[in-house]
């Protein structure tokens, strides 16, 4: 009885030590917006939703996005399930290259959508940024793919492997 | 409610003075989706991104109603001529 109890105890501990770092990782991703009701935590440590609030902070988010991600796409849907033919085309073109593709779904956030349009001064989606530079929409990325310009532009972007 | 092909054409003509212009309404009549091809002197010395920006700017009003604008070609008369010749020689070959 005692052993089984202590086993359970240690099992519990082992599980905790395993899950904790993982939880931490999940909560660090930019997409996280909520935290479990853990009595160990405090509101101060809750992840803040960076996408809420004024246009200024949204512009900062975009600035950070395009700085941190060599290939950043603002699109309708997500890369594995685009919800618009043009967004789909842009992702298909980019997938020809062995580069990590970061993306945000502007259909989920009207404020972000407007902020991106203002940021790049471009009216439509998808919008593609490479190494912090605004590249354009699907017509441009397709054209650059065809002319070889895109290959040149992406050659120093590290592959995902 | 949407924009007509004629509206798109007249705005582009007024602002970009194209030597060749092709606007296709791909919306099936509701005026929300267009494909355009433009040949204009004004594209001379401009990068593709800037050329597209010029088209977007020329259609600023219309873009409020247009859902999808595909800019297939923004070339200079010189480039247009070369492309036409290349196409012809391809067709001949």
Question: Where are chain B's structural domains?
Answer: 5-92
- Please report the number of interchain residue pairs, chain A to chain B, with beta-carbon separation below 8 angstroms: 29
pLDDT, residue A48, reads 59
- For domain B5-92, the CATH architecture is 2-Layer Sandwich (3.30)
Tell me the C-alpha distance between A11 and A8, whole Å: 5
Interface residues of chain A, partner chain B, Cβ below 8 Å: 86, 121-124, 134-140, 143-144
Query: For residue B37, what are its two tokens?
Result: 């091809």
Q: Is A59 exposed, middle or buried, given 0-12, 13-18 or 19+ CB atoms closer than 10 A?
A: middle
Within 10 angstroms of residue B68's Cβ, the number of other Cβ atoms is: 16
Residue with tokens 């789909």: A88
Asked whether the beta carbons of B19 and B43 are under 8 A apart, the reply is no
Q: Domains, chain A, ranges and CATH?
A: 2-45 (no CATH), 55-154 (3.40.30.10)
A106: tokens are 């502007």
Q: What is the pLDDT of residue A29?
A: 38
Answer yes or no: are the C-beta atoms of A76 and A84 closer than 8 Å: yes
**Complex ipTM, two decimals?**
0.86
What is the rounded distance in angstroms from the CA atom of residue A55 to the CA atom of residue A78? 23
pLDDT tens for residues B13-70? 999 999 999 999 998 877 789 999 999 999 999 999 999 999 999 999 999 999 899 9
**Beta bridge partner(s), residue A74:** A104, A127
- For an interface test with B, give the residue of A125, A139, A144, A148 to mutate (most B CBs within 10 A): A139
- CA dist A50 and A53 (Å) reads 8
What pLDDT does A7 receive? Answer: 52
**Nearest CB to B71 within list A135, A139, A144:** A139
Q: Which of A123, A135, A139 is facing B70, going by the closest CB pair?
A: A139
Mean pLDDT within B5-19: 96
- Two tokens, residue A155: 């050659």
Q: How far apart are the first and last CA of chain A?
A: 49
Q: Which residue of B has its CA nearest to A135?
A: B49
| Phi, psi dihedrals of residue A30, rounded to the nearest 5° | -65, -20
Instruction: Indicate the burial class of A37 (C-beta count within 10 angstroms; 0-12, 13-18, 19 or more).
Output: exposed
Beta strand extents in chain B (DSSP E only)? 20-25, 33-39, 68-75
B3-15 mean pLDDT: 96
Q: Which residue of A has its CA nearest to B36?
A: A139
Question: Whose CA is closest to A128, among A90, A99, A81?
Answer: A90
Exposure string (b/e) for A72-94, b if CB count within 10 Å is 16 or more?
bbbbbbbbeebebebbbbbbebb
Mutate to test the interface with A, among B32, B34, B43, B52 (most CBs of A within 10 A): B52
* Residues in chain B within 8 Å Cβ distance of A142: none
Strands across the sheet with B33-39, in order? B20-25, B33-39, B68-75
What pLDDT is stored for residue A50 in this prediction? Answer: 52
Vertex A63, ends A58 and A66: CA angle to 5°? Answer: 125
**Nearest-angstrom CA–CA distance, A86 and B68:** 9
**Tens-of-pLDDT digits for all 161 residues of chain A?**
555 555 555 444 444 443 333 333 333 334 444 455 566 767 776 665 555 555 568 999 999 999 999 999 999 999 999 999 999 999 999 999 999 999 999 999 999 999 999 999 999 999 999 999 999 999 999 999 999 999 999 999 976 55
């Amino acid at each position: 009885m005692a052993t089984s109890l202590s086993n359970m105890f240690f099992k519990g501990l082992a599980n905790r030590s395993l899950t904790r770092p993982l939880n931490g990782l999940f909560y660090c991703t930019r997409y996280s917006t909520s935290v479990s009701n853990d009595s160990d935590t405090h509101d101060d440590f809750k992840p803040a939703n960076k996408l809420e609030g004024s246009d200024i902070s949204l512009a900062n988010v975009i600035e950070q996005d395009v700085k941190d991600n060599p290939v950043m796409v603002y699109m309708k849907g997500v890369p594995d399930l685009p919800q618009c033919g043009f967004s789909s085309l842009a992702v298909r073109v980019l997938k020809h290259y062995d580069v990590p593709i970061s993306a945000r779904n502007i259909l989920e956030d009207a404020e972000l959508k407007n902020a991106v349009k203002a940021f790049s001064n471009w009216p439509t989606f998808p919008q593609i940024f490479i190494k912090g530079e605004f590249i354009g929409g699907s017509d441009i990325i397709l054209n650059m793919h065809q002319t070889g310009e895109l290959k040149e532009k992406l050659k120093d972007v590290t592959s995902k492997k | 409610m949407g924009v007509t092909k004629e509206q798109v054409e007249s705005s582009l003509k007024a602002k970009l003075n194209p030597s060749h212009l092709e606007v296709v309404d791909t919306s099936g009549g509701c005026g929300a989706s267009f494909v355009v091809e433009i040949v204009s002197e004004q594209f001379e010395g401009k990068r593709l991104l800037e050329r597209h920006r010029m088209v977007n700017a020329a259609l600023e009003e219309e873009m409020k109603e247009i859902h999808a604008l595909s800019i297939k070609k923004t070339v200079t008369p010189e480039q247009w001529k070369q492309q036409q010749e290349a196409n012809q020689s391809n067709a001949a070959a």
